[in-house]
Structure 1
């Protein structure tokens, strides 16, 4: 493997490892569920993307053709992580999980809880 590819793979692994460590630390240290959602959805997703990009580069070189499996995994993670975080946040709001006083946007939580589903076309008649 050429030196420049080894350097690129090492840099991607270091960046990915740093963000995974940062995401894990944030998940353990942040105090409430609304703050904890940011850590795995942002930092950890970026970290695993770095690791998968490094794997894609290495596998593409060793096989001799573009390795698409890592790209598909990365794409799947980048699509599903925000959706999962949104569902977790909606569940926490639905169950009226209390946020700490220092959590920002608490005035929005009350307005979101009071929203109702829009009326259907038949109800409008």
Structure 2
């Protein structure tokens, strides 16, 4: 009974993870500039893969698999935002600017990125 419930919850988590991954891929194709594309790829991609790994951890009854899945989730949640931030900073320094529809560009007047 409980095992069947875990399978249903894991299935829903896999569907939600696939939806987040699809939204990340859709955002990469449809969003206007590098920065918004990177944002959707890092956030939605990390959540989608985290949900898929959590579903694997739920249905696996082996401690080693659960431990590896949880380590994978921690790895995604720690590295995706940091790498997106560093790539966005490097792109801004290299001369890429946000799309014209952006309301505010805080770095435009800042001397922090000028070297």
TM category (shorter chain) comes to 0.7 to 0.9
> Cα distance 1:36–1:18, how it changes in 2: closer, same or farther (>3 A)?
same
Aligned positions, number: 112
Query: What TM-score results when the alignment is normalised by the length of structure 1?
Result: 0.81
Which range moves more in the overlay, 92-101 or 6-15? 92-101
RMSD across aligned positions (CA): 1.9
Match of 1:2 in 2: 3
**C-alpha displacement of 1:87:** 0.5
Quote how far apart the aligned CAs of 1:116 are: 6.7
State the SS of the aligned residue for 1:54. helix
Structure 1 residues 92 and 6: alpha-carbon distance in aligned structure 2, compared to 1, 3 A threshold: same
Match of 1:123 in 2: none
> Does the 8 A contact of 1:41 with 1:81 survive in 2?
yes
Gaps of 5+ in 2: none
Q: Unaligned regions of 5+ residues in structure 1, if any? A: 118-125
**Whole-angstrom CA distance in 1 between matches of 2:108 and 2:45:** 29
Q: Point out the structure with max Rg over C-alpha.
A: 1
The CA distance in 2 between the partners of 1:35 and 1:95, in whole Å, is 17
